Amino acid sequence: MACGVWDDFRKHAVREGWFAPNGAEAATLYLHMASVLRKIPGKLLREIQRSARPQKKGAYEDLHFLFPERLYERKVALDGAKGIHKAQGTAASEALLVDAYAARIRSLLGQGLAVEAKALIDLVRDRYPSARERLEELTASAVARAGTLDELVGPLNDPAISHERRAAIEHAIQRDVRDLAALAECAALAPEDSMRKAACALERAFLAVTTGPVADVC
């Protein structure tokens, strides 16, 4: 597909010395490929990615040009997005920059650097308020992994919380919170909160199973 052609051009240009591997030109190509991929419906893109993977076991092929997140994750792409937004200052260039930041945040979370990811999220949310809603899921995940449970669940007490934000927080709790006791005792949740009550019940059941007498079946 077109992104493969663009990536071949990038490799050839670097080999020929037309531009540096981590220069502005490479960044522009990475961002262009990512923006092209973003326009493809998710289901179709996943099918393209799946069909492009090597069929032979043990075979390897670098298919980063088919994955927008991998393209955005590259530091040069983030630097390029910053430069583009500085020059253009449009809603489109801001969206591109936020996409690049989001990929960087996901990369940090994938490396177990939740505190660093949270700091970067705070920076992006502060600089680009319009991106706050787009970063809800990443924010919840970073807060959950960083262990700041009160900060994670506190917004659930707000009756005006949006459905999207509530869903992001609940998903992060299901995926990232491992300490049931901490959730059951979390003062940021009201005692009658359904999630806190469920955590209490699960914690009691877990303790009953793991600390009760064990019957001799021999």
pTM of the model: 0.62
Tell which phi-psi region holds residue 17, choosing left (phi > 0), alpha (psi between -120 and 50) or beta.
left
**Cα distance between residue 57 and residue 66, in whole Å:** 20
Q: What is the pLDDT of residue 162?
A: 87
Residues in contact with 179: Cβ distance below 8 Å, sequence separation at least 6, in sequence order: 149
Residues in contact with 128: Cβ distance below 8 Å, sequence separation at least 6, in sequence order: 94, 97, 98
Q: Could you say which DSSP state residue 188 is in? A: T
Q: What is the pLDDT of residue 124?
A: 94
Q: What is the pLDDT of residue 212?
A: 62
Residue 217: both structure tokens together: 């079946």
Q: pLDDT tens digits, residue range 5-50?
A: 888 888 888 899 998 887 778 888 888 888 888 788 888 888 888 8
> Could you tell me if 66 and 3 are in contact, meaning their C-beta atoms sit under 8 angstroms apart?
yes
Residue 52: both structure tokens together: 């492009």
Residues in contact with 185: Cβ distance below 8 Å, sequence separation at least 6, in sequence order: none
Sign for the CA dihedral angle at 67, 70, 76, 82 comes to: positive
Sign for the CA dihedral angle at 36, 20, 49, 124 comes to: negative
Q: What is the pLDDT of residue 218?
A: 45
**Alpha helix ranges (H) inside the chain:** 2-16, 24-38, 42-52, 68-73, 75-88, 91-110, 114-127, 136-146, 149-153, 163-176, 180-184, 194-211
Q: Could you say which DSSP state residue 31 is in? A: H
Q: Give pLDDT < 70 ranges for the chain.
A: 54-61, 212-218
Q: pLDDT tens digits, residue range 124-133?
A: 999 999 888 8
Residue 102: both structure tokens together: 């989001």
Distances (CA, A) of 121 to 73, 149, 157, 161: 15, 17, 22, 20
Q: What is the pLDDT of residue 55?
A: 55
Q: What is the pLDDT of residue 60?
A: 44
**Cα distance between residue 206 and residue 35, in whole Å:** 47
